[in-house]
Amino acid sequence: MAPPVRDGGELCGGPAGTGAPGAGVALQGRQGTGDRDPEHRQPASGVGIFPEHVVELHGNTTYARCIGCGTRYEIAWVKERFDETGMAPSCTACGAPVKSATISFGQSMPDDEMRRATELAQHCDLFLAIGSSLVVWPAAGFPVMARNCGARLVIINNEPTDQDDIADLVIRHDIGETLGPFVGN
């Protein structure tokens, strides 16, 4: 049986959800996995997920790292060097390129973060897949893993995903409009 789908303003039976920068949130004591967007880490008036409960599978755009030795750099430093030379800076420690601290296609997923996300997906009661096409693996496997371990699965997205048929609820609508009232927007 297909999950209930909320399509804009109407509840219907059938598929839903894909979209923007994705975030899967495995809710168990306000812990989750995030995808590059630092906004999910800004608790406002008690709403939000605290940084220590966020697993950044695909990294973070608020700072940079050397791809050789992992040295951390602030974005302002990277921008200054880029503005001066028109090129990405080299690491002051090892000379390798410095890029935003995000995982690019072809780079390995970080072991510690993958381990933590697996643990959360296996032990959560509710998994929210928010604004994700759920097609990029291995991260796309977390909703399936959570569901197989007994969690409820909710997918919030504008377009259908291949995982809609296993979801308990699919909401096909803009994630900002859908979640805004719950996060104080």
Q: Are strands 169-172 and 152-157 parallel, antiparallel or unpaired?
A: parallel
Q: Are 120 and 112 in contact (CB under 8 A)?
A: no
Residues 40, 67 within the same domain: no
Catalytic residue numbers?
58
Residues 31, 10 within the same domain: yes
Summarised one tens digit per residue, pLDDT across range 174-183 is 888 888 887 7
Residues 33-46: what's their mean pLDDT? 44
Q: How confident is the model at residue 48 (pLDDT cuts 50, 70, 90)?
A: low
d(CA 85, CA 90): 11
| pLDDT surpasses 60 at 110 | yes
Which residue range forms the structural domain that includes residue 178? 4-57+109-182
| pLDDT surpasses 50 at 141 | yes
CATH of the domain at 13: 3.40.50.1220
Neighbour count for residue 60 (Cβ, 10 Å)? 19
Number of domains in the chain: 2
Spell out the residues 6+ positions from residue 151 whose beta carbon is closer than 8 angstroms to its own.
26, 121, 124, 125, 126, 127
Q: Are strands 126-130 and 23-27 parallel, antiparallel or unpaired?
A: antiparallel
Summarised one tens digit per residue, pLDDT across range 11-36 is 333 223 333 334 445 443 333 444 44
Residues 64, 44 within the same domain: no
The pLDDT value given to residue 71: 94
